[in-house]
A and B are shown apart, each in its own frame.
Chain A
């Protein structure tokens, strides 16, 4: 149980284009999902917290107009990197909280590697 998927796992795009990353909870309902960014050999940096049906809460320093988050259902959240630039190249990870069981535990997706050329 508590499986989270992400799609795509790998994406290369041209500078100036937009990229959408999907995060799905496969076997549970996730009222809250989280989006992280991880640079090589570093820890995870929380970008935003996403609650189903409401606006995401962004961490300080994260541009909400650049990183659009939508949590339209209890099993799906999306992160759209708009007008991507090479400095947006990173590893993006989502996690979801299973409210029915151990509600304080976050389960992570496998991550998405984004390379902006």
Chain B
């Protein structure tokens, strides 16, 4: 079974600075998807960024980018020019490419709480 590990329970960053959140995963599959979701205090899960494993190019969405290292099974999230509104729990998630036998479900890490200091 796949597992997702977020080794940083908490992180903090100064406003306007850059922060990187770590995520590693374990899988024997070669094709899959990776996601970062944000959960602010409202508890609404918001998709931040997604990456398809077959794509070598790292995904970017405005101030958010990932460093996807497939061989190392690493998928870190970089937040540039951090804003107060970025403060939230961030969850890394894995999904198999297959849709057979329940493999479409997301496997979540335990999350990293990000604090942004003014």
A interface residues (Cβ-Cβ under 8 A, vs B):
32, 34, 38, 42-44, 46, 49, 57, 91, 93, 95, 97, 102, 104-108, 110-111
Query: Which residues does chain B contribute within 8 Å of A49, judged by CB atoms?
Result: 102, 104-105
With A43-B91, A97-B104 as given contacts, are A107 and B47 in contact (CB-CB < 8 Å)? yes
Min CB gap A54→B, angstroms: 13
Interface stretch (choices B20-28, B78-86, B106-114): B106-114
Q: List 29 A-B contacts (CB under 8 A).
A: A32-B104, A34-B105, A34-B106, A38-B43, A42-B110, A42-B111, A43-B91, A43-B108, A43-B109, A44-B91, A49-B102, A91-B43, A93-B45, A97-B104, A102-B50, A104-B33, A104-B50, A104-B97, A104-B104, A105-B33, A105-B35, A105-B47, A107-B47, A108-B45, A108-B46, A110-B43, A111-B43, A111-B44, A111-B45
Q: How many residues of B contact A (CB 8 A)?
A: 21
Known A91-B43, A105-B50: A46·B91 in contact at CB below 8 Å: no
Q: Assuming A34-B105, A105-B50, A108-B45, what are 4 further A-B pairs, CB within 8 angstroms?
A: A44-B45, A49-B105, A104-B95, A111-B44
Least CB distance, A105 to chain B, in whole angstroms: 6
